[in-house]
Chain A
Amino acid sequence: QQQVRQSPQSLTVWEGETAILNCSYEDSTFNYFPWYQQFPGEGPALLISISSVSDKKEDGRFTIFFNKREKKLSLHITDSQPGDSATYFCAMNYGGSGNKLIFGTGTLLSVKP
């Protein structure tokens, strides 16, 4: 059962372009949506997050757009840099004991100089 879907699986953009990463979910009880960035050989690192009461969150070149009605999110990376090349995971906080995170399958982003 795949609760969190991410697309595309991989994405290549040129330096300076905007990369758009998509995420969708099924469970309407999710209320917190962090995005993680993972470089090869490292653990995921929190990049930016949004709660279900907001429809947009911006942090520098990174912006999350959230559509609660459609259960969709997107991460926009403007002015993409080669250093942004990494795997990006959409995650969701699942309430209840332990408050575990449910992760998507990830999008591998490659930014070409």
Chain B
Amino acid sequence: DPKIIQKPKYLVAVTGSEKILICEQYLGHNAMYWYRQSAKKPLEFMFSYSYQKLMDNQTASSRFQPQSSKKNHLDLQITALKPDDSATYFCASRRTANSDYTFGSGTRLLVI
């Protein structure tokens, strides 16, 4: 059974629209993260949350807004979508800031 559930697995969106990427983890971890993987680029850190509080934000654009309604949830809202936002978005978690990461299987977003 997957320990980190990301939904949807695939997503096609129209330029200018808004989407929410869902992430739930069932590992009992206290820290959650979002990373982005674009073509021919390294995995890029976006956000980190610890105990539902934002710890670090490396995303320049305010169009990306993480939302944590529960301890084991960290969704990602993306507004005014652009074709450059096309990427695979990975949610990750770890028990503490010094533990190893576990990644979800990703949401593949295509903006047309």
Q: For this complex, into which size category does the number of interface residues on chain A fall? A: 20 to 34
Q: For this complex, into which size category does the number of interface residues on chain B fall? A: 20 to 34
Binary per-residue interface labels of chain B (24-40) against chain A in the complex, 1 for a CB within 8 Å, 0 otherwise: 00000001010100001
Indicate if B48 sits at the interface (CB-CB under 8 A). Answer: yes
Asked whether A49 lies within 8 Å of B97 as measured between CB atoms, the reply is no
CB-CB < 8 A to A105: which residues of B?
A: 40-42
Contacts A98-B97, A100-B33, A105-B42; A41 near B105 (Cβ below 8 A): yes
Main secondary structure of the interface of A (DSSP, over half): loop
Select A100's contact among B40, B42, B58, beta carbons within 8 Å: B58
Residues of B at under 8 Å CB distance from A?
4, 31, 33, 35, 40-45, 48, 50, 55-56, 58, 90, 92, 97-98, 100-106
